[in-house]
Amino acid sequence: MAEREKKGFFLLDDKSKSTDPANAKLFKSKRSASEGKEESKELKPKRAISAYIYFATEFGEKTRKSNPEMKITEVSVLAGKKWAEMSEAQKKPYVEKNLEDKVRQEKQQASLEKRGYFVLDDGSKSTDDKNLPTRRARKASKSLPSDQEESVRKSIKKAAAKK
């Protein structure tokens, strides 16, 4: 068993305890996942899509049409191999799409910093109510129809009562 698990602390090279206040700056403090994060109701511009993602999307669609029985993971592996084998000239259309998307992102970011909002592809402002991020509801667990659910509950209660 480790020294820390036995005593709740461990000794440093200078023979001081790890829990001494003087040593606090040596160790990271434990913080909750939500601590230090500000929730912003502001919509931020989407990041630019990489050239590879443009290629992989197109390649995946073509491959799945010609081989519908192929798993997505297999298609992804093929896309990666194909991308590695492609020359710069073959990658050029995808790189151009990526550059266009970078320009879009930079324009939207500049607009956000200057005006406090940016215009989305559909022509609406990022500050419009319909574009503000909403808190996603948790997915409901797969449940039985109410009549079956009641019978399952009764059978569970009967089984518990017998024990």
Structural contact between residues 23 and 16, judged by C-beta atoms closer than 8 angstroms = yes
Per-residue pLDDT at 66 exceeds 60:
yes
Residues 43-65, mean pLDDT to the nearest whole number: 93
Residues 37-65, mean pLDDT to the nearest whole number: 85
pLDDT band at 74 (very low <50, low <70, confident <90, very high): very high
- Give CA–CA dist 59/84, Å, rounded: 13
pLDDT above 90 covers what percent of the chain?
A: 40
For residue 118, count CB atoms less than 10 angstroms from its CB and return exposed for 0-12, middle for 13-18, buried for 19 or more: buried
DSSP state of 158: H
Question: The tokens of 126 are what?
Answer: 């990022």
pLDDT band at 20 (very low <50, low <70, confident <90, very high): confident
pLDDT attached to residue 39 = 53
pLDDT attached to residue 86 = 96
Structural contact between residues 119 and 111, judged by C-beta atoms closer than 8 angstroms = yes
Per-residue pLDDT at 46 exceeds 80:
yes
Q: 26, 2, 1: which is closest to 12 by C-alpha? A: 26
pLDDT attached to residue 42 = 60
Residues 116-129, mean pLDDT to the nearest whole number: 84
Per-residue pLDDT at 41 exceeds 60:
no
pLDDT above 70 covers what percent of the chain?
A: 75
Q: Output the CA–CA distances (angstroms, integers) from residue 80 to 32, 83, 90, 129, 138, in the order listed.
A: 37, 5, 14, 40, 34
pLDDT band at 135 (very low <50, low <70, confident <90, very high): low
Q: Left, alpha or beta for 85 (phi > 0: left; psi -120 to 50: alpha)?
A: alpha
Per-residue pLDDT at 110 exceeds 90:
yes
Structural contact between residues 92 and 98, judged by C-beta atoms closer than 8 angstroms = no
What is the end-to-end Cα distance of the chain in Å, rounded?
40
Which residue has tokens 């909403």? 134
Q: pTM score > 0.75 for this model?
A: no
